Amino acid sequence: MAHFNSAHRLFNPDWDDAKNFEVFGLCSNPHYHGHNYELEVRVTGEINPDTGMLIDLKWLKEIIKVEVEDKLDHKNLNIEVPEFQKLIPTAENICIVIWQWLRKSLDEQYDLKVRLYETPRNYVEFPAE
Amino acid sequence: MAHFNSAHRLFNPDWDDAKNFEVFGLCSNPHYHGHNYELEVRVTGEINPDTGMLIDLKWLKEIIKVEVEDKLDHKNLNIEVPEFQKLIPTAENICIVIWQWLRKSLDEQYDLKVRLYETPRNYVEFPAE
Amino acid sequence: MAHFNSAHRLFNPDWDDAKNFEVFGLCSNPHYHGHNYELEVRVTGEINPDTGMLIDLKWLKEIIKVEVEDKLDHKNLNIEVPEFQKLIPTAENICIVIWQWLRKSLDEQYDLKVRLYETPRNYVEFPAE
Amino acid sequence: MAHFNSAHRLFNPDWDDAKNFEVFGLCSNPHYHGHNYELEVRVTGEINPDTGMLIDLKWLKEIIKVEVEDKLDHKNLNIEVPEFQKLIPTAENICIVIWQWLRKSLDEQYDLKVRLYETPRNYVEFPAE
Amino acid sequence: MAHFNSAHRLFNPDWDDAKNFEVFGLCSNPHYHGHNYELEVRVTGEINPDTGMLIDLKWLKEIIKVEVEDKLDHKNLNIEVPEFQKLIPTAENICIVIWQWLRKSLDEQYDLKVRLYETPRNYVEFPAE
Amino acid sequence: MAHFNSAHRLFNPDWDDAKNFEVFGLCSNPHYHGHNYELEVRVTGEINPDTGMLIDLKWLKEIIKVEVEDKLDHKNLNIEVPEFQKLIPTAENICIVIWQWLRKSLDEQYDLKVRLYETPRNYVEFPAE
């Protein structure tokens, strides 16, 4: 589990303000709002017989820190994160971007699944089961 | 319990950027960041013998909605909430402002305490015990 | 996540009281007992490229309110919910009934899974993975 | 922490049905509804220097089982619990009744406080601080 | 859900102390350290039409108590649990051992999955999805 | 909130093994067992008008790391922590020792309260309200 606090705004530039408000409601507020995101990372594979462990958890936490927390924590997603220049920073898209960042660092022998809680009561998961 | 998602920035206009960063760190990011705030409201008093209840919970929830959630949810605290034009929107100050808003609506026979979680692991409470 | 509070009694009318008590224990109490049920609804599918979202969460919450909460909240399941006239209102059966109610309202492009917590430590899920 | 599941109905026999519904809303449903109650018991006092413990936790859990869980779990509070023949089983009153049951069993050297969660987001506490 | 508190040490006897510390860090402390393990057991299968239940939960809890809690709770895993004489008691290996213990007691008609939380923020699951 | 994982044994050297087992039960296991302790630190005082904050949270987290986590995490309390050479490492005594460690580092203008969870369902707090 990792977490990060970010500001974002849901806004499709191809639509006018009225259409954006109709679809995204308060989430289209031009002054941004924010969330404490909680991230759950699931790695699947074979256990290493020498260590009795699937993966080095310290290494995994470091990767999550470098690849996710340093890029997103205390950031304005729309303005400061290049991936969301053209991609609307919905929980769904943030989740996929995080999966792509982690997938690059993870050995091919492992499967990877990412679950992102935008609030304690709503989450998205990628890939779908 | 109520919750609201807001963007904020910690910044003292009497200080230069370097001093603000030194004191507030990443929280002084000029592009804002955000939180899911969780609010716990504690009301103390005598039980009404007719209802067996201390207070009408539906009424209390409505007051919290009108006085807190509608004012703060999906808002940028620094820009959109008048109380934080001159007051830095730290968790401590947000908590006191919420207490003041609720105190006005609550009958004098009740004591009131407000606890505000900025993250699940950090909270502030007003008044102190 | 949605929640509702209901009373129920586990009772198979084909058995006598002794057999019902033997199988269901305290849960066969003729005066009913109750739970705070917590519901987790999982929807799987393709992300809409215009919104960056899988599904309109406000719409989904409204459907859950109409199809589940309004039918079950503060109800006696055995007496007041037609589906449990002949079906024992175990967590397993409640979960399947909820799945059927939601499935009807949900577009075919989405997969649906429902998890029902009868207590924070026990849940059932339908369909099985 | 202990927990118990009970059915109850909020109803003041001095009022007619319309008045009861106006005050208690869905909670006055004549067919009962229910909750998973969670109980938090706080005991304050001096640490026993021989054991380094305030109180024997096994003993305390047994008392809570006998004095609270056995009396309330899987019960209909209005019908099956004598204390609620004349007292409306609101969370406030249940909390006080539990405090009275435990207070009798607890040595005078200890202070006692009881917090009762009717849902994870609403609790009552007795005595008030 | 079940839980148990155990002490353990991560140590591969084929390696010297320096290598063990390099791989396992503080977890190789020769004086042991400990955890509150939380166990989540998932059983999948057909619902019994007579009871409306998948499985008798009281029976399942008893099996978990006998097969898991009695063997692991308040134990030193390295010294007192035969399965970990030659197997390093990592969360991964503890999870598999628990799965094997429960699998033997469970009728073949059921599928079984075990999730073990070593801390509230880290878990392992067997078998992988 | 901070957490640490430790092994301990409850044992009064003035008593024989039978008496220790009678009083402490499984907790007197000579091979040790362990817990994930969770620590909640509450600081009370005046808000600094320049920062809008009560205390510098980064500083407080660092003090908790140095004064508590580094001393207790992944340690055997009975063997490796000098304070518990003569003091039985019950949750009550660990809580007081932590309070003493933190009290020394904290400016006199602040009040301090420490709550220690030995499991998610049991905690001790010092000082008592």
DSSP state of B10: -
Q: What is the DSSP string of chain A?
A: -EEEEEEE----TTS-HHHHHHHHGGGG-TT-EEEEEEEEEEEE-PPBTTTTBSS-HHHHHHHHIIIIIHHHTTEEHHHH-GGGSSS---HHHHHHHHHHHHHHHS-TTSEEEEEEEEETTEEEEES--
Both tokens of C8, joined, read 């129920």
Question: From residue C21, how far is each of A126, B14, C12 by CA, in Å?
Answer: 45, 73, 10
Q: Is the pLDDT of residue A104 over 90?
A: yes
Please, what is the end-to-end C-alpha distance for chain B in angstroms? 20
Please, what is the end-to-end C-alpha distance for chain E in angstroms? 20
**Residue pairs spanning D and F at CB distance below 8 A:** 34
Q: Catalytic residue positions of D?
A: 27, 74, 118
Q: Is the pLDDT of residue F41 over 70?
A: yes
pLDDT value, residue A37: 92
pLDDT value, residue E17: 86
Which among D88, D121, D128 has CB closest to B52?
D88
- Mean pLDDT value of segment A46-70: 93
- Mean pLDDT value of segment E80-91: 93
Q: Is the pLDDT of residue C23 over 90?
A: no
Both tokens of E9, joined, read 């040490």
- Which partners does chain C have (≥3 C-beta pairs < 8 Å)? A, D, E
Query: Considering only CA atoms, which of B43, B41, B9 is closest in space to residue B27?
Result: B9
Question: Mutate which of A9, A11, A27, A32 to test chain B, going by most B C-beta atoms within 10 A?
Answer: A32
The tokens 């589990």 sit on which residue?
A1
The verdict on whether F27 is a catalytic residue reads yes
Query: Considering only CA atoms, which of F124, B83, E20 is closest in space to residue D60?
Result: F124
SS3 state at C84? helix
SS3 state at C7? strand
Q: Is the pLDDT of residue E1 over 70?
A: no
pLDDT band for C27, please (50, 70, 90 cuts): confident
D47 near C47, Cβ under 8 Å? no
Q: How far is A28 from chain E (nearest CA, A)?
A: 32
In terms of DSSP H, where are the helices of chain F?
17-24, 57-64, 70-72, 77-80, 91-105
- Mean pLDDT value of segment A45-51: 92
Query: Considering only CA atoms, which of B41, B84, B37 is closest in space to residue B62?
Result: B41
pLDDT band for F56, please (50, 70, 90 cuts): very high
Choosing from F8, F35, F67, F118, the catalytic residue is F118
Which among A5, A27, A31 has CB closest to B33?
A5
- What is the radius of gyration, based on Cα positions, of chain C? 16
Choosing from E8, E22, E27, E95, the catalytic residue is E27
The tokens 């969360």 sit on which residue?
E91
In D8-24, which positions are buried (b, 16+ CB within 10 angstroms) versus exposed (e)? Answer: bbbbbeebeeeebeebb
The nearest alpha carbon in chain A to E125 belongs to A44
- Which partners does chain B have (≥3 C-beta pairs < 8 Å)? A, D, F
Q: Which residues of chain B are within 8 Å of residue D122 when distances are taken between CB atoms?
A: 1, 57
Q: Can you give the length of chain E in residues?
A: 129
Which among A51, A111, A129 has CB closest to E12?
A51
Q: How many Å apart are CA E30 and CA F55, to the nearest integer? A: 38
Query: Considering only CA atoms, which of F71, F107, F103, F66 is closest in space to residue F89?
Result: F71
- Which residues touch B108 (CB under 8 Å, ≥6 apart)? none
DSSP state of E106: S
Q: Is the pLDDT of residue C85 over 80?
A: yes
Is there a contact between E90 and A53 if contact means CB atoms under 8 Å apart? yes
pLDDT band for A78, please (50, 70, 90 cuts): very high
pLDDT value, residue C80: 93
Q: Is the pLDDT of residue B30 over 80?
A: yes
Highest CATH level, class, for D2-126: alpha beta
Q: Is the pLDDT of residue C129 over 70?
A: no
Q: How many Å apart are CA C10 and CA E50, to the nearest integer? A: 11
Q: How many Å apart are CA E61 and CA E70, to the nearest integer? A: 12
**In chain E, positions 89-118, which contact chain A (CB-CB < 8 Å)?**
89-90, 92-93, 96
pLDDT band for A94, please (50, 70, 90 cuts): very high
Q: Is the pLDDT of residue C107 over 70?
A: yes
Please, what is the end-to-end C-alpha distance for chain F in angstroms? 20
Largest CA distance in chain D: 60
- Which residues touch B32 (CB under 8 Å, ≥6 apart)? A7, A31, A32, A34, A76, B7, B8, B9, B76, B78
Q: Which of A1-5, D124-128, F45-49 has the lowest mean pLDDT?
A: A1-5
Question: Mutate which of C92, C97, C122, C123 to test chain E, going by most E C-beta atoms within 10 A?
Answer: C92
Which among A23, A92, A121 has CB closest to C54?
A92
Share of chain C above pLDDT 90, in %: 62
Q: Which residues of chain A are within 8 Å of residue B74 when distances are taken between CB atoms?
A: 26-27, 29, 33
- Mean pLDDT value of segment C110-119: 93
CB of D121 less than 8 A from some CB of C: no
Q: Do chains F and C touch (3 or more CB pairs under 8 A)?
A: no
ipTM, 2 dp? 0.82
- Mean pLDDT value of segment B101-128: 92
**Residue pairs spanning B and D at CB distance below 8 A:** 33
Is there a contact between F92 and D47 if contact means CB atoms under 8 Å apart? yes
Mean pLDDT of chain E: 91
Query: Considering only CA atoms, which of E9, F128, A41 is closest in space to residue D42?
Result: F128
- Mean pLDDT value of segment E35-57: 92
Q: How many Å apart are CA A98 and CA A72, to the nearest integer? A: 10
E39 near E107, Cβ under 8 Å? no
- Mean pLDDT value of segment A109-125: 91
pLDDT value, residue C17: 86
- Mean pLDDT value of segment C38-64: 93
pLDDT value, residue D129: 66
D53 near F90, Cβ under 8 Å? yes
CB of A124 less than 8 A from some CB of C: yes
Question: Mutate which of B39, B51, B55 to test chain D, going by most D C-beta atoms within 10 A?
Answer: B51
CB of E129 less than 8 A from some CB of A: yes
C98 near C39, Cβ under 8 Å? yes
Strand partners, C46: none
Q: Catalytic residue positions of B?
A: 27, 74, 118
Q: Check residues E64 and E18 and name the one with the higher pLDDT.
A: E64
D124 near D50, Cβ under 8 Å? no
Q: Is the pLDDT of residue F2 over 70?
A: yes
pLDDT band for F54, please (50, 70, 90 cuts): very high
pTM of the predicted protein model: 0.83
E6 near E76, Cβ under 8 Å? yes
Q: Which helix (H) or strand (E) holds C117?
A: strand C111-119
CB of B79 less than 8 A from some CB of D: no
The verdict on whether A27 is a catalytic residue reads yes
Question: From residue C82, how far is each of C72, C98, C116, C118, E86 by CA, in Å?
Answer: 11, 13, 19, 20, 57
- Which partners does chain A have (≥3 C-beta pairs < 8 Å)? B, C, E
CB of B54 less than 8 A from some CB of D: yes
Q: How many Å apart are CA D41 and CA D61, to the nearest integer? A: 10
pLDDT value, residue F120: 79
* pLDDT tens, position by position, B43-102: 999 999 899 999 998 999 999 999 999 999 999 999 999 999 989 999 999 999 999 999
Q: Is the pLDDT of residue E84 over 80?
A: yes
Tens of pLDDT along chain D (129 residues)? 678 888 898 888 888 888 888 888 888 888 888 888 999 999 999 999 999 999 998 999 999 999 999 999 999 999 999 999 989 999 999 999 999 999 999 999 999 999 999 887 889 999 986
Q: Is the pLDDT of residue F25 over 90?
A: no
Q: How far is C108 from chain A (nearest CA, A)?
A: 16
pLDDT value, residue C21: 85
pLDDT value, residue B129: 66
pLDDT band for B1, please (50, 70, 90 cuts): low
Q: How many Å apart are CA B60 and CA B48, to the nearest integer? A: 15
The nearest alpha carbon in chain D to C119 belongs to D36
- Mean pLDDT value of segment F34-55: 92
DSSP state of B50: T
The tokens 């309202």 sit on which residue?
C105
